């Protein structure tokens, strides 16, 4: 198939579904490997399957250009540097990866990782996203995390020493018993390590997780308190030099915004490979079942319908602080009457401080981000 030059480069997401053990709050698809004797065999077959799916996508793709790659999960480093190398080699062999591509790998900040850092760099990884979650050891313990704050700091410093100049740390808010002081301690910890990017997620107790079964929700902050903690961390991050550019994401500089994730919110196309991974590809949304065996057996992604309409664009773009221009909605097929209705509905919300309407652009404020789902539903229907 002809590769058209004006088609934007793709992002590639690789979902690595292996963890040492399951964290009690986690709803992502992954398998706890501790104590399993068949892990190595599954990892080999998984790696071959990823290579197979890369080829299948390429055969149907209108472009072979790629400008972001993201290894998420799960715990990608469990695959080992050799298999990560095998996958990046295959991506480079099949696709035309741009020189300045952002290639991210998620990792847990254990000291054991330190020895493999140079090898990941030689596999092309140039951005690390660490699941720190908190710089308070009592909170880490509550979350069932296997690292301490001290260990995490050592790991980040080792990554910087190995030459990684683009590092992100994840934090969690709305944890049981969380105070402003604890959040501030976590923010200071990240800022003192001079990382370029921070994500701050509100803990959600998802059905089916051990947190849900043990009713951890009962000791979590209620909605009002969650809102206070969220607005507090947004402000604290700002004071420490991290600009909010998305509901949960903050960067020390525009150039450190997570380029791969921005594709999702911008309705750009990407390929997602691995059990539970989603794609937006050739105008269609699709996803693999949450089942490693089915993935290995070659089950194709399930079609989830057409994507990229103006309503979907509005929903995703309003997650970004930059918001969206009405012109983009017009180009995607919105009628002037749709835009007039959105503006009319947005005006009282602007007065209440939840959003900004200016120069043909609409964007949410941090207060608006807290209730973004309701705002979007109100604007659309
Ligand atoms: S390490 Fe990450 S992906 Fe794995 S169980 Fe814990 S939170 Fe989930």
Sorted by sequence, the CB contacts under 8 Å of residue 131 that are 6+ apart come out as 106, 107, 108, 109, 145, 170
Q: Among positive and negative, which fits the CA dihedral 118, 121, 122, 123?
A: positive
Supply the pLDDT for residue 307: 96
Contact 262, 256 (CB under 8 A): no
Contact 276, 29 (CB under 8 A): yes
Residue-by-residue DSSP string for 79-117: G-HHHHHHHHHHHHHHSEEEEEEEEEEEE---GGGGGGH
Ligand 1, closest atom to CA 73?
3
Contacts by residues 49-53 (CB-CB < 8 Å, ≥ 24 positions apart): 49/295, 49/296, 49/298, 50/14, 50/87, 50/90, 50/273, 50/274, 51/86, 51/87, 51/90, 52/298, 53/273
Contact 20, 146 (CB under 8 A): yes
CA 187 – CA 175 distance, rounded (Å): 15
Q: Tell me the pairing of strands 65-73 and 10-16.
A: parallel
Q: Is 62 helix (H, G, I), strand (E, B) or coil?
A: coil
| Confidence (pLDDT) at 4 | 52
* Residue 99 tokens, joined: 């020189």
Nearest alpha-carbon partner for 285 in 265, 266, 307, 269: 307
Which of 71, 74, 129, 209 to mutate to test ligand 1, by most ligand atoms within 8 A of the CB atom? 74
What is the model's pLDDT at position 2? Answer: 46
Q: Would you tell me how many other CB atoms lie within 10 Å of the CB of residue 99? A: 5
Maximum CA extent, the chain: 61
DSSP string, 110-141: -GGGGGGHHHHHHTT--EEEEEEE-S-HHHHH
Whose Cα sits closest to atom 6 in ligand 1? 23
- Distance (Å) from CA 297 to ligand 1 centroid: 24
- Determine the pLDDT at residue 1: 46
Q: Model-level pTM?
A: 0.96
* Sign (positive or negative) of CA dihedral 48, 49, 54, 59: positive
| CA 110–ligand 1 middle distance (angstroms) | 13
pLDDT score, position 111: 67
pLDDT at position 5, please? 58
For the CA of 106, the closest atom of ligand 1 is 2
Q: Residues near ligand 1 with C-beta < 6 Å?
A: 19, 22-23, 26, 28, 30, 73-75, 108, 131
**CB atoms inside a 10 Å sphere around CB 365:** 17
Average pLDDT, 10 consecutive residues per value, the chain (381 residues)? 70 97 94 91 97 98 97 94 96 97 94 84 96 97 94 95 96 97 98 98 95 95 96 98 98 98 97 98 97 97 97 97 96 96 97 96 97 96 86
Give me the pLDDT at residue 359, please. 87
Which of ligand 1's atoms lies nearest the C-alpha of 145? 6
Q: What is the CA radius of gyration of the chain?
A: 21
Q: Does residue 46 sit in helix, strand or coil?
A: helix
CA 36 – CA 230 distance, rounded (Å): 39
Which domains does the chain show, CATH number per domain? 10-265 (3.80.30.20), 321-381 (no CATH)
pLDDT at 6: 75
The protein residue whose alpha carbon is closest to atom 2 in ligand 1 is 74
DSSP 320: B
Question: What three-state secondary structure class fits 366?
Answer: helix
Please give the number of the atom of ligand 1 that sits closest to the Cα of 74.
3
**Beta strands 355-358 and 127-133: pairing type?**
unpaired
Residues listed for the chain: 381
């Amino acid at each position: 198939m002809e590769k058209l030059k004006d088609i934007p480069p793709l992002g590639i997401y690789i979902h690595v579904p292996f963890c040492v053990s399951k964290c009690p709050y986690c709803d992502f698809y992954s398998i706890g490997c501790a104590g399993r004797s068949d892990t190595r065999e599954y990892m080999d077959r998984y790696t071959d399957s990823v290579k197979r799916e890369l080829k299948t996508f390429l055969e149907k793709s209108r472009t072979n250009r790629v400008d972001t790659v993201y290894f998420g999960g799960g715990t990608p480093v469990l695959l080992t540097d050799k298999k990560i190398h095998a996958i990046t080699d295959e991506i480079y062999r099949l696709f035309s990866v741009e020189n300045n591509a952002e290639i991210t790998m998620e990792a847990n900040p254990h000291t054991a990782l330190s020895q493999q850092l140079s090898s990941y760099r030689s596999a092309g990884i140039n951005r690390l996203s660490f699941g720190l979650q908190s710089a308070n050891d009592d909170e880490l313990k509550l979350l069932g995390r296997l690292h301490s704050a001290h260990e995490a700091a050592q790991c980040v410093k080792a990554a910087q020493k190995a030459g990684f100049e683009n590092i992100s740390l994840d934090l969690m808010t709305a944890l049981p018993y969380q105070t402003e002081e604890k959040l501030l301690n976590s923010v200071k910890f990240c800022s003192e390590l001079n990382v370029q990017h921070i994500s701050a997620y509100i803990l959600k107790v998802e059905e089916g997780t051990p947190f849900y079964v043990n009713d951890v929700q009962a000791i979590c902050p209620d909605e009002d308190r969650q809102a206070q903690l969220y607005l507090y961390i947004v402000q604290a991050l700002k004071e420490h030099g991290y600009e909010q550019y998305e509901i949960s994401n903050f960067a020390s500089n525009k150039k450190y915004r997570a380029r791969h994730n921005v594709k999702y919110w911008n309705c750009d196309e990407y390929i997602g490979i691995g059990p539970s991974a989603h794609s937006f590809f050739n105008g269609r949304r699709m996803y693999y079942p949450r089942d490693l065996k089915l993935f290995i057996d070659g089950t194709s992604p399930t079609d989830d319908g057409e994507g990229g309409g103006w309503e979907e664009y509005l929903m995703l773009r309003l997650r970004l602080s930059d918001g969206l221009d009405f012109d983009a909605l017009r180009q995607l097929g919105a009628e002037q009457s749709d835009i007039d209705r959105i503006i009319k509905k947005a005006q009282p919300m602007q007065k209440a401080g939840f959003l900004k309407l200016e120069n043909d652009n609409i964007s949410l404020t941090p207060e608006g981000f807290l209730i973004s789902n309701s705002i979007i539903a109100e604007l659309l229907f």
